[in-house]
Structure formats: structure tokens, C-alpha cells
Amino acid sequence: MNPFQNRAPSQSGPAHDALPVVPNDSVDLASVALGLYVETGGALVIDTVAGLTRTLTVADFTILPVGVRRVRATGTTATGIHALVLA
């Protein structure tokens, strides 16, 4: 049984998938992320859905509940990044 089958997607979650992210300075994520999951902590440079670039320091196994358009390569040292998406 799939409890999500007849449920309309919601921006408040839960996400429908977790897609691996390859940080890139010039290309947005294929789908805007509801948030990110980071396996190995470090610096994370993101472009938010508000259009701002932010540098955050995150710990191992962090779930970051921020809408993200892009994860930048320059300055990002965190690894194992996954975009939590509806699509």
C-alpha cells in the first residue's frame, strides 16, 4: 500500500524523492529542493528560492529545511548532498 498515492504534493513535505546533488556554480538543480540532506558536513554554499546566496556550515547527517535552487561548487566542502524534492 502506498500512502502517498492519492495525496496531493505539498511544499511542506514530505519530499517524494532524494536526488544526489553535484555542486555546480552555473547550473540550477533539476527541481527546486524543499531541503537538503547532507551526509558529510562542511561548508555548503547554496542559492535559495529567495534568490540569495548563503554559506552555511553543517554537521554530518544534516537535514536543511530550506528551499534551494542551486548548490555551488565554489566554497562547498560538504559531501553526500541530496536534494529533497517533490518531482
When divided into structural domains, the chain yields a total of 1
**Amino acid 32: pLDDT:** 94
Domain presence at residue 33: yes
Q: Are strands 79-85 and 17-20 parallel, antiparallel or unpaired?
A: antiparallel
Q: Report the C-alpha gap between 8 and 50 in whole angstroms.
A: 24
Could you count the other beta carbons within 10 Å of the beta carbon of residue 67?
Answer: 14
The three cell numbers of residue 59 are 554537521
Domain presence at residue 12: no
Range of the domain at 69: 17-85
Q: Report the C-alpha gap between 38 and 75 in whole angstroms.
A: 15
**Amino acid 14: pLDDT:** 76
Domain presence at residue 42: yes
**Amino acid 2: pLDDT:** 44
Model pLDDT for residues 19-75, shown as the tens digit of each residue: 999 999 999 999 999 999 999 999 999 999 999 999 999 999 999 999 999 999 999
pTM summary value: 0.85
Domain presence at residue 53: yes
